[in-house]
Chains A and B, each alone.
Chain A
Amino acid sequence: MTIALIDTGCANIASVRFALERAGLDHDVVTEPAGAADCDRIILPGVGAAGPAMERLKARGWSETLPQDGRPLMGICLGMQLLFEHSAEGDVDGLGLLPGRVERLPRPDGLVWPHMGWNALEGFAVGEPLLTGISAGSHAYFVHGYYVSAGRVTQAQCDYGVPVSAIVRQGQVSGCQFHPERSGAVGARILSNFAGIKA
């Protein structure tokens, strides 16, 4: 089992790499689709803005290969948002692997923007494999200013004045809005759960 970790030139790839090392999960950092040929799962991490990240995915051929791929895929934070059809951040089209749109988080009274910190995971979908062994109410670390409203691909959500998609999935395409690599034991379990999903 080897996970391909897509290097989009985003800044926090080291955090994800270290988390996979701590969890004892084999991985290769890859820049182009050919580099992932021997891997059986793919993680699309992401920190930064949607526009430049999509440009890099296009330039390196990922925007063509990922929609046909079929291997288990997990996007993290911005990587999750790029799986959707469109992002209001820079008004760019995403990969379109999941139905829905990324919108700017509203700022209800008394809440700061961006959403930064540990929030409770709730509203678990029955049988979601990424949530095996995790209890509702567990906290995960979020840092984001844009979000996907909880909807039909949402497998877990959190409350930040509005219901925010925390884990999404449709078939082999999944994503976490929070950072499992920086979410303590809960995050480590989610990464291990991803590694255990049948390819």
Chain B
Amino acid sequence: MLARRIIPCLDVRDGRVVKGVKFRDHEDVGAIVDLARRYSAAGADELVFYDIAASARGATVEPEWVSRVAREIDIPFCVAGGIRSVDDARARLFAGADKISINSPALESPDLIDRLAHEFGSQCVVLGVDSRKIEGEWRVHRYTGDPDKTRTDERRTLDWIAEGLDRGAGEVVLNCMDMDGVRDGYDIEQLAAVRAICSTPLIASGGAGRKEHFKSVFELANVDGALAASVFHKGVMEIGDLKAYLAAEGIRVRP
């Protein structure tokens, strides 16, 4: 049967991997290709590359960077950052990406999801959603790469995800903003609510701090994969140790 995925995420700004807390105060944590190669060799099940500043400043993740990473790794590779057209996506896929994740550009023009799914198939199209609770409701946010430009969308998170799936997204990555970089555990409540309406693979993001957090999110929110950044970048845990722990706890992972 299918294994649960452990997915390190490289948040990239100006050619370096950075990491913030709750989407603010980013610090440099390393070189892109070095980290990609290290995680691929360590047993990561997929790698996500987010050019976090791209959407907010109207730019797009560079195909050259996509190729430099894709050349080095032998695991699936998902790329995000200001991809706002079929041609933008095609250039990144031809450069070596396996999947395209869209977030702010999909909120700007939702039919981008339909167009990408039609052209490349749903399996290529990942809907990234940045969400936090505002006045008791989960709400979608855009331009989260730049704290000064971040804003709350009028859409409710569950409505937006249902619409994205209807339009042909083949996977959902839910970034729970209040948990980002805090290492206090995934937002199980929000993830479970999304799981209940999500018929495609669902990836949890935001909050991983201890091995137990991964176990909880798989057991309690039944997500297909768990994405994490700072715990891996800062050496809080090694992917191999994490997987050995999960396997011992009865969670199916790729050794």
Assess the B2–A14 pair: CB atoms within 8 A.
no
Considering the complex, give the chain A residue whose CB is closest to the CB of B43. Answer: A184
CB distance from A32 to the nearest CB of B (A): 19
| Chain B residues bordering chain A, tally (CB within 8 A) | 35
Assess the B121–A112 pair: CB atoms within 8 A.
no
The B contact surface, by secondary structure, is: loop
Considering the complex, give the chain B residue whose CB is closest to the CB of A22. Answer: B74
Assess the B201–A117 pair: CB atoms within 8 A.
yes
A143 contacts the other chain (Cβ, under 8 Å)? yes
B75 contacts the other chain (Cβ, under 8 Å)? yes
Assess the A114–B200 pair: CB atoms within 8 A.
yes
B71-104 CB mask vs A (1 if < 8 Å, else 0) is: 1001111000000000000100111101000000
CB distance from A118 to the nearest CB of B (A): 4
| Known contacts A13-B94, A47-B124, A118-B5; A188/B74 CB under 8 A | yes
Considering the complex, give the chain A residue whose CB is closest to the CB of B67. Answer: A14
A19 contacts the other chain (Cβ, under 8 Å)? yes
Assess the B3–A143 pair: CB atoms within 8 A.
no
Distance of A27 Cα from B1 Cα, bound (Å): 34
Assess the B2–A114 pair: CB atoms within 8 A.
no
Partner of A114, one of B3, B93, B122, B254: B122
CB distance from A89 to the nearest CB of B (A): 10
Considering the complex, give the chain A residue whose CB is closest to the CB of B40. Answer: A184
B198-232 CB mask vs A (1 if < 8 Å, else 0) is: 11111000000000000000000000110000000
Residues of A within 8 A of B (CB): 11-15, 18-19, 21-22, 47-49, 107, 111-120, 139, 141, 143-145, 159-160, 179, 181-185, 187-188
12 pairs from A and B in contact (CB 8 Å cutoff): A22-B74, A114-B122, A114-B200, A115-B2, A116-B123, A116-B171, A118-B2, A118-B254, A139-B3, A141-B75, A144-B123, A182-B98
